[in-house]
Structure 1
Amino acid sequence: MGENIMMHDTCKKNIFVFGAEEFNINQMKALASAKHYCFHELLTHQQVKCWNGHSVQKIHKSAMERLKAFSGSVDAIVGYWDFPVSTMLPLLRQPFGLPSPSYRSVLICEHKYWCRLEQKKVIPDYIPDFCAINPFDTNAKQSVTVQYPFWIKPVKSASSHLGFKVRNDTELDQVLQIIRKKICRFSRPFNYMLQFAELPDEIDAVDGNYCIVEGIISRGRQCTLEGYVYHGDMTVYGVVDSIREGQHRSSFARYQYPSTIPMRIQREMIATTECFLKHIGFDNGPFNIEYYWEPIKAGRDRIWLLEINTRISKSHCPLFRDVDGATHQKVMLELGLGEKPDFPHREGKHKIAAKFMWRINHDAYIRHVPSAQDLQMLEHEYADANIQLHVRSGMRLSELMDQDSYSYEIAVIFLAGNSQQELLQKYRDLKKAMQIELEPVG
């Protein structure tokens, strides 16, 4: 994208997209309401996600300078990426008086330990045991109050980066060594963001260099509620199932919409979400919140709150388009403009849709991948498919950035259909047709 698409029409709303990239911009431009908008690039995805030589402080400064230099009206600032985009949005909106959740409410959700502390005050039955530890403390093991096995992860990361399942002291020693070496990728920029908030005493010392330890809750079925709060009223417009696979079931295999979790369970999740968001004062913004449902044969079902994000999930956009008739970027854009979202329901061409994450559980060299022309032909053959390839011939999987601790994501494939059987068969056929060749390392 270049300045040629940035020409602004005084009759249209000027919407700045923080961390813009082609795939999501094209989805937004395809919305029926897009004829009323002018989209402007507020830094590229590459600039906001790659911090080598481009610090978060520089990102913040560059974005603010770009906004202040704009000659027209700044009507909305939106973003669909995780950190630092979701964290920084309230700071960018505030000088222009734009609708936004408060910075404090966003930061609570972004800081995993602070978020658990607030959840414990109002929804304690829906969260696991947890504690904070300093991985650089020589007595870190002694500060753990959660029994093995448990999960450990930084208080701020993304895509399960540096998240580990730990079963004993030996494994804890091993993962602490890894965390100490790599945590600075997120801790340094997150600490920059923390300075803009007045932190409570129990959080002031727990900065981005800390980790949270949590009891295991990765049992049962996982789903994500997509919703928003507008002038104090919360709405959930879709529930998406998250299917995991691999070692410790730690890696996402696909997101599938609509959810098949029983409505009585969905209603309890919605009520729990509303209780928490009112407690922290989250308003005028989108969110997605992840839960586990653990059916119990005798007695009460268990519902566990995993985490909450203060943005839409971009991964779910094509799923809503295929099933409901519009990407839920529509919700993000209307909230950004201060409008109550008007989102369709079951007006799409398909009954079911999914995002598949093609993962490899070991390091390998890439010997062959399909060409851009090959991918176009496959997308034409498999109607409504979209293929995003993350690898190239000659590279090694361990060169990929920000992967989870147990697998490498080599491609993302969006597909839709009228049954789960049809959907899964399409995925198997498409993977085979792509003819990706791997050679294991060692």
Structure 2
Amino acid sequence: MVGTGDYPGCMLASLLAERLGLPAPPPRAVVRLSHKYYSRILQRGLVPEATPDFVSLSPYASKPQLGRLGYPVFIKPVKGTMSIRARRVDNVHEFREGVRFSLLELVRKHLILRPYQHLLQRYTDGEVPAWHFIGETPLSGVQVTVDGFMERGRAVVMGVVDSVMYPGTISFQRFEYPSHLPARVLERMREVAVRLMEGSGFDQACFNIEMFYDEVHDRVSIIEVNPRMSYQFADLYERVIGMNTYEAQLALAVGEPVPWNAGAARVGVAASFVMRRFIDGRVTRVPSAQEIARVKERFEGVVVQVLCAPGERLSDHVQDVGSYRYAIVNVDAPTREELFARYTEVEQLLPFGFT
């Protein structure tokens, strides 16, 4: 059983596989790792040097109980997606703004998370419900994603992808492989990932761990753990080293040895670029099939995924905080300079229109 989506995909796959006796990570491990507070508890026990201070926060409290954290604090839902509601807050007023939901939003949130709440009551102490928040010491630095898999209790790191934000935001601009961080830093990240995952109880599936490297303090910190593969990155690995991460995930799902044998690099670098606007708008035009075909003729292997359609508002789709995705472009090149030049040309050849 395979699930590449965090919720409910990988949890449902884990539960069904357990019932059917198929290879898959234990539900207890998946539930705990995907809950940002209980995941931090695991991290604090296994890799304390890479775990920031944290505290659980009720969105219904008139005043957050921050304990020793104090302001500023970074808050996010314990079960969230795409950085929605994740933000830094500097005072009580900003905290209340950050956790304020309309009645309709509250009803939807509780209905959507009700099955997950049942799993929390089964596999944890249940003291931090699925609709609560976590507060953490703010982190900074170079952000990356460490991709790997667990096979019969052994962790293997497949690679590290740089996760680059639009300047001054927490919205992803691109995901670039391989990472440009120094080899010694990448080795520390691999060691942290292996120690954490081998002690977590997770097994027989891919995982990815988002991390920061703070060069000023020479510190590696975990942002969060995702008990699933990074499906957006599978194409990047195949372009650069000739191995697709789906190959690893599918082998694990059927109980076969993982054929992960990264050979010599086929190209120098690959990236998945996220095209965004920072104001909402109605879509008036998207590239035609013929226009996309011309881009692919110009640059062999380019992947273009259009995320909107004429007549829609960008906000009709689930979006990050403060920005609106409308397309994803995957491209590779011999060098980083050529990579950016190719993407710039691709962007110019893809006509989008917004009011």
TM-score normalised over the length of structure 2? 0.94
Conserved? CA contact 1:154–1:183, under 8 Å: no
Alignment of 1:258-407 (within 5 A): 258-296=178-216, 301-347=218-264, 349-401=266-318, 403-407=319-323
Tell me the CA shift for residue 178 of structure 1.
3.7
Conserved? CA contact 2:113–2:131, under 8 Å: no
Question: Is 2:35 the counterpart of 1:107?
Answer: no
Q: Which residue of 1 aligns with 2:42?
A: 118
Gap change, CA 1:199 and 1:328, over 3 Å in 2: closer
Distance 1:415 1:353 in 2: 6
Conserved? CA contact 1:323–1:346, under 8 Å: no
Deviations 1:362-395 (CA, angstroms, capped at 9, x unpaired): 1122222211222122122221101001122222
Tell me the CA shift for residue 335 of structure 1.
0.6
Equivalent residue of 2:150, what SS? strand
Conserved? CA contact 1:366–1:391, under 8 Å: yes
Tell me the CA shift for residue 80 of structure 1.
1.6
Gap change, CA 1:180 and 1:220, over 3 Å in 2: farther
Q: Which residue of 2 aligns with 1:159?
A: 82
Distance 1:355 1:262 in 2: 21
Equivalent residue of 1:148, what SS? coil
Q: Which residue of 2 aligns with 1:231?
A: 152
Equivalent residue of 2:341, what SS? helix
Q: Which residue of 2 aligns with 1:255?
A: 175
Equivalent residue of 1:364, what SS? coil
Equivalent residue of 2:64, what SS? helix
Alignment of 1:26-65 (within 5 A): none
**Paired amino acid for 2:248:** V
Question: Is 2:116 the counterpart of 1:193?
Answer: yes
Deviations 1:194-245 (CA, angstroms, capped at 9, x unpaired): 42463443xx13111211111211x211111111111111111211111111
Q: Which residue of 1 aligns with 2:5?
A: 81
Distance 1:325 1:302 in 2: 32
Equivalent residue of 1:87, what SS? helix
Conserved? CA contact 2:85–2:99, under 8 Å: no
Deviations 1:243-286 (CA, angstroms, capped at 9, x unpaired): 11144x31111111111111211121122122222332122221
Q: Which residue of 1 aligns with 2:342?
A: 426
Tell me the CA shift for residue 340 of structure 1.
2.0
Gap change, CA 1:366 and 1:321, over 3 Å in 2: same
Equivalent residue of 1:195, what SS? helix
Equivalent residue of 2:114, what SS? helix
Equivalent residue of 1:432, what SS? helix
TM-score normalised over the length of structure 1? 0.76
Q: 1:411 aligns with which of 327, 337, 340?
A: 327
Conserved? CA contact 2:296–2:302, under 8 Å: yes
Distance 2:39 2:98 in 1: 23
CA RMSD of aligned residues (A): 1.9
Distance 1:329 1:432 in 2: 31
Equivalent residue of 1:269, what SS? helix
Distance 2:106 2:32 in 1: 20
Conserved? CA contact 1:416–1:423, under 8 Å: yes
Equivalent residue of 2:144, what SS? strand
Equivalent residue of 1:312, what SS? coil
Distance 1:172 1:242 in 2: 27
Distance 2:164 2:267 in 1: 20
Tell me the CA shift for residue 181 of structure 1.
5.6
Tell me the CA shift for residue 417 of structure 1.
0.6
The count of aligned residue pairs is 353
Gap change, CA 1:182 and 1:405, over 3 Å in 2: farther
Distance 1:190 1:78 in 2: 21
Tell me the CA shift for residue 287 of structure 1.
0.7
Q: Percent identity?
A: 29
Of the two, which has the highest radius of gyration? Answer: 1
**Paired amino acid for 1:239:** V
Distance 2:198 2:238 in 1: 29
Equivalent residue of 2:7, what SS? coil
Distance 2:245 2:52 in 1: 31
Q: Name the structure, 1 or 2, with higher relative contact order (CA <8 Å, separation 6+).
A: 2
Deviates more, 1:367-376 or 1:182-191: 182-191
